[in-house]
Structures are given as C-alpha cells and as structure tokens.
Amino acid sequence: MSDAVRSVVIDKRFCGPKSSGNGGYSAGLFARAIDGPAAVKLMKPPPFDTPIELRKLESGFEAVTGDAVIASIEPAVVRVDPPAMPSDADVAAAHDDFLKTIGDAHLIPYCFVCGTKRASGDGLRIFSGAAPDSPVNADFWTPAADLAGDDGLVRPEFLWAALDCPTAYALRVGDRMTLLGRLAVEITRRPAPGERLIAAAWRTGEEGRKHYSSSVLLDENREIIAASNALWIELNDPALIARIKSENV
C-alpha cells in the first residue's frame, strides 16, 4: 500500500444516507489498500470530511478514525453465477419500474448512487428496477468524465459504488430497510468514461436478517468487467429506522 492510500477522506457528495458515506463508494476507497479482489466489512457509518486511517493487520487492514473501527478490509474471492441477463428493452423497462415503484417514496433519495433527488452529473442515478419476468434488477450506466482517474479510466471506488446499490434492490424486500454489511468486489477491466454499461444484480439467499445478493457490470459487448458479492442486514430497531427515515427526507 502506498502512502497515498494510508488514509482517505469521504466528501459529502458521496453520501448514502445524508449523514454518512455511500457504502459501496466508501468500501471502494478502503479497498485501495488491497491489490486485487477485496472484501470490506462495514462496522460503522463512514464519516464525512474526516481522515480515516488504513491500518495494516496480519490478514488485511482496518479503517479507523479515533477509537472507532469503521471497516475491515481483506483479500477476497468473488464468485458469481448470473441468471440470464435482460435484453436492452427490458433493462429500460427496469429503469422505468424503479421510478414508478420507488420514485418519490425512495427511503434514501439523496444517495450518490441511486438517489432520485440527485441531479444528472452529480449522482450516478443508477435506477435498478426489476426487469420483466426476471430475477434481475438492472439499469444502464454511462460514467461521466469526472469519475476518471489520472489514467483516464473510471476510478475503482465508483465501480464499487455502481455494484453496491443494485444488490439492495435485487433483494426485493419491499419497504423493509437493510444496510450494507459486507461487499466483496473483483474488477477485471476499468471502463473509460462514456462507455455504456449495465449494472445488474440478483438475490442469492437469506439467513434470518442476513440477505445475500450479487451484481455485475456489463460492457457494451455484455462482457462482465466487474462483479460483487454482497451481504445486507435487515434492520429491526424501530427507533433506528425512524431516525434514518427522518434524516433523509
């Protein structure tokens, strides 16, 4: 790990809920400490505008601010077994389904990735609704120029972000609230801004309050360029749920 990634700072632009960093984006920043596929377990909401130190452990790293451990980071193996992917027409229908079924009722409408109240060019606006007659949730995504790194390709943390939110909607748990617990990502090719991608996700299982899903980013040839395995935790604390909802109107 280079000195450049010994600590990271999350800008408020990259929020999930209004008060903390988007889980996928934050995990992607933390994962810069690892060469190759990585898994990030989120333990606390990632704070804004605060240096978060990436400390070396025997088996990986931990993201720390003060006495608080925000996340653990370790090498991972990502395995996906995608169902049949929807056609372009069905991806467009899935986008429309998201706006129709979620739209103004979005629980976290300012999320950097999927927020319906984020302007084009500000948020990613990946609206991964349910594709017709399919277990897949999907939407098109064309990365903007400001998401590129010095090499001209989309920075990894934005690919992590794009893989994240679709895995939540693919759970199809209705208005039950879940929070990202763990995300493992493998990136095989970083795209250039302007490439037309598809972000697609599907449910893979559940165990009590734990819900599992996976996602892929497909390029214009419908080849997988990045993939993820996600764990979401269903909230069961009414006070916490009420607080999150009240803070995100």
pLDDT in tens, 115-169: 999 999 999 999 999 999 999 999 999 999 999 999 999 999 999 999 999 999 9
156 is a domain residue: yes
117 is a domain residue: yes
Q: What's the pLDDT score for residue 142?
A: 98
Which residue, among 189, 190, 217, 194, has the nearest Cα to 144 in the 3D structure? 194
Q: What's the pLDDT score for residue 103?
A: 85
CATH number assigned to the domain comprising residue 123: 3.10.129.10
Residues of the domain holding 104: 88-173+187-227
Domain count, the chain: 1
DSSP at 123: B
Question: Rounded to two decimals, what is the model's pTM?
Answer: 0.96
Residue 24 host element (H or E): helix 23-30
pLDDT digits (tens, 9 = 90+) for 34-89: 999 999 999 999 999 999 999 999 889 999 999 999 999 999 999 999 999 999 99
248 is a domain residue: no
31 is a domain residue: no
CA 71, CA 64: separation in Å to the nearest integer? 7
The DSSP string of 72-110 is EEEE--------PPPPHHHHHHHHHHHHHHTGGG-SSTT
220 is a domain residue: yes
42 is a domain residue: no
Q: What's the pLDDT score for residue 2?
A: 42
Cβ-contact 141, 194 below 8 angstroms? no
61 is a domain residue: no
Q: What is the end-to-end Cα distance of the chain in Å, rounded?
A: 39
Residue 91: partners with Cβ closer than 8 Å, 6 or more residues away? 131, 138, 139, 140, 198, 200
pLDDT digits (tens, 9 = 90+) for 164-204: 999 999 999 988 889 999 999 999 999 999 999 999 999 99
Q: What percent of the chain shows pLDDT beyond 90?
A: 88
82 is a domain residue: no
| Backbone phi and psi for residue 185, each to the nearest 5 degrees, phi listed first | -135, 140
